[in-house]
Amino acid sequence: MEKKDLRIVYMGTPDFAVESLKCLVEGGYNVVGVITMPDKPAGRGHKLQFSPVKQYALEQNLPLLQPERLKDEEFVEALRAWKADLQIVVAFRMLPEVVWAMPRFGTFNLHASLLPQYRGAAPINWAVINGDTETGITTFFLQHEIDTGNVIQQVHIPIADTDNVEVVHDKLMVLGGKLVIETVDAILENRVKPIPQEEMAQPEELRPAPKIFKETCRINWSGNVKQIYDFIRGLSPYPAAWTELHNGQESPITLKVFETEKVEKAHSDVPGTIKTDGKTYLHVAAGNGYLSIKSLQLAGKKRLGIDEFLRGFKVLDGMKLL
């Protein structure tokens, strides 16, 4: 079968999913339809906002469905009418069997981790938060349990100690587009030999990648320097790690922290205690040293470098971050 004859339905929502769809379209593959999340209200005016995948699909005049519920008979019938030979899922939702089992070549997912590690909604964040030095992407066929299907292909990449989640995300996004094309070609040429995840060598315990909520992002200054440093870069720039500044008088002030440097130095300060000259540096005591904050943001304000922040906001030696 030629690629122009293979009928593909693509499912995805965020920016991460646009790259793979773009590679398919620009590569001349036959994308017969796109499925993405319903429009969501956003901003102060609560205007309905298109997903990045919807925006791209509209620009390319691709048929589009935005079901509220994936088991609705009306949606299932509309999907069936596209007569897909293959479905591809990138950063979408858990699919019911009636959907993923529909095409004759099945449905494969692109997941931003080296499965079986980091099954779940936030694999890139958790790999950085946990201080991993390597991650990657995986294509696998869908089955009943989420992120457990037989692996088709994987690509490994290093994580540098200075990489934040945005850097890793963007690298995996580009590699993901290439891997989706390679996987489609392998399926077309009947070269796929899927490997059950339980047969893949795993020298360490499996780590999950659960969805991240606001409270997940609160910094615990009693951890060691490396743990806190990895935690902050694993959430930077979005959704961002946060903490509260306590000056002993006013209500606590919420700060988002985007970038730090490690200062591994013995001290007797209580974790969260600030050391600063009020002008050029702001160090925060941790379990075995300090974190030197390089950029941060007050609620409702723009992100600032530490020099600019200290010029406009008074922080004194001995104040606490909790």
Q: CA 142 to CA 102: how far, in whole Å?
A: 11
Place of tokens 């009636």: 98
Q: Please tell me whether 115 is known to bind a ligand.
A: yes
* Pair of tokens at residue 304: 């600032």
Decide if 153 contacts 109 (C-beta within 8 A). no
Structural tokens at position 54: 């919807």
Report cis status (omega within 30 of 0) of the bond before 38: no
Chain centroid to CA 264? 29
Half-sphere exposure of 279 (CA within 13 A, CB side): 1
What are the residues facing 208 on neighbouring strands? 119
Partnered with residue 196 across adjacent β-strands are none
Identify the H or E element spanning 34.
strand 30-35
In angstroms and rounded to an integer, the radius of gyration of the C-alpha atoms of the chain is: 23
Q: Which two tokens stand for residue 61?
A: 């005049």
Helix, strand, or coil here: 316? Answer: coil
| Secondary structure class of 8 (helix, strand, coil) | strand
CB 229 within 8 A of CB 216: no
Nearest to 320 by CA among 258, 275, 265, 262: 275
Q: Which residue has the tokens 């379209």?
A: 25
Q: Is 116 annotated as a binding residue?
A: yes
Annotated binding site for (6S)-5,6,7,8-tetrahydrofolate: 113-116
Q: Which residues are annotated as a binding site?
A: 113-116
